[in-house]
Amino acid sequence: MAKQKTQFVCQNCGYISLKWMGRCPECNEWNTMVEEIIMPEDKIQEQISLLKPPAIAVDLEKVDLKEEERIKTGINEFDRVLGGGIVPGSVVLIAGDPGVGKSTLMTQIVPGLKGKKVLYVTGEESVKQLKLRTERLNFPKSFQSKNFLVLAETNLNLVINVIEEVNPDIIIIDSIQTMYRPELESAPGSVSQVRECASVLMQLAKNTGKSILLVGHVTKDGLIAGPKVLEHMVDTVLQFEGERHQAYRILRAVKNRFGSTNEIGIFEMTTEGLKEVKNPSEIFLSERTFGVSGSSVVACIEGTRPLLVEVQALVTPASYGTPQRTSIGFDYHRLSVLLAVLEKKVGVRLSGNDVFIKIVGGLRIDEPAIDLGVVTAIVSSLKDIPVDSQSVVVGEVGLAGEVRSVTQIEKRIQESAKLGFKKIIIPKNNTRGLKIDAEIEIVGVRKVNQALEELLNI
């Protein structure tokens, strides 16, 4: 009998080594190298040949470019992020932290898939647990449960046999980390198993035209658990974000072969499941307090949707030698840059103060257009002067203290006017050729000093 060969595979990034190492040289993570048995090449090809049909070359001129009709889920936020609905024959990966609501979202889309047979494969829950969730989500009485089949199984070979037997239109795998193929000696959730199972499901989708939705977990760093190649194999990658203790969730497209990656969907987690947020700006500003220093309203763009969010800052004297710099929902390094600009170019001394920044509502915003709003909130808290409550701030702050132009300024202005704000501070360059019919005062500024003078009268 031939001796089994082994290799060590990093469970974080997929790096392969012939010997064990305490630290992965690719991703620099400790204790992630796990020993796995190398399958003989002839055995791998034998298993692949059972799933793949014979390859056939096709004349390019005979390829039909007729656009296939997308499958609507009935949840507008989900459909918009996908680009209009689920594409037949596509593989979609929905990733997120544990408890964020991935399984809830997958269950909620089932009633909207009218006329489609759905197979829900759960590897983490029993059939009774899934039944309890459907009861909690109050499925409509008109829902035809005969088109909703549930399978509690983790062996992918058995799952494929059931798929061939029931012939569903849409398959939900919850989650891909629990699936395994017995031909591989490694444990479920390992890099080899996740990669192999995803490859088999990808081939199944392309050969049969069935749509497959994969639920995936993320690591402590926010990356999708398993090898990076998993993201390259699937057609669409959706990131489900949100704090577990916050009510709001954001569905963001990281990759989409059939649509734009600029769209986001916003949901609110309730006792009856996820509910779509039609007007997110109004929701995020609903608890805003007036006449309090350290608060400003900024107009940002998430995808193609304008959002008005509140930025809060707290500046206090440092209790220790080294002042603290803390940011929630805002990039820490960008905060350090803005504080340096305030010190050097604006003349605001912050070296002896602790600075805390928070984006209200559990959002995380990386857009540089909120720089001016962050700076305004910091100075407002330091001087203990409230920002004009009827004003919105937009602008990127440069290293020379200048306010740089931003994109899609018309959408930001229209959203501000729609919510009843009276004034908006924008970069001076954005006022050139600006044609907009909105009942709001538009003030263009070139320097941070000008914005602070307009908003704080200092």
169 is known to lie in a ligand binding site = no
222 is known to lie in a ligand binding site = no
CA-CA-CA-CA torsion sign (171, 177, 178, 183): positive
295 is known to lie in a ligand binding site = no
As given in the structure block, the two tokens for residue 361 are 């509502």
As given in the structure block, the two tokens for residue 409 are 């300024």
280 is known to lie in a ligand binding site = no
Which residue bears the tokens 């795998």? 173
Distance CA 206, CA 234 (A): 11
Categorise residue 100: left if φ over 0, alpha if ψ from -120 to 50, beta otherwise: alpha
Instruction: Write the CA distances from 349 to 108, 317, 377, 381, integer angstroms.
Output: 52, 11, 15, 13
Pairing of strands 391-393, 423-427: parallel
Distance CA 167, CA 172 (A): 13
Q: Provide the 3-class DSSP secondary structure of residue 355.
A: strand
Instruction: Write the CA distances from 107 to 131, 140, 252, integer angstroms.
Output: 10, 13, 19
395 is known to lie in a ligand binding site = no
| Residue 218 phi, psi (nearest 5) | -120, 160
> HEC string of 241-307?
ECCCCCCEEEEEEEEECCCCCCCEEEEEEECCEEEECCCHHHHHCCCCCCCCCCEEEEEEEECCEEE
Give 38's DSSP letter.
Answer: P
101 is known to lie in a ligand binding site = yes
Radius of gyration of the CA atoms of the chain, in A:
26
Q: Is there a contact between 400 and 431 (Cβ–Cβ < 8 Å)?
A: no
- Which residue ranges are tagged as binding site for ATP? 96-103
- Which residue ranges are tagged as binding site? 96-103
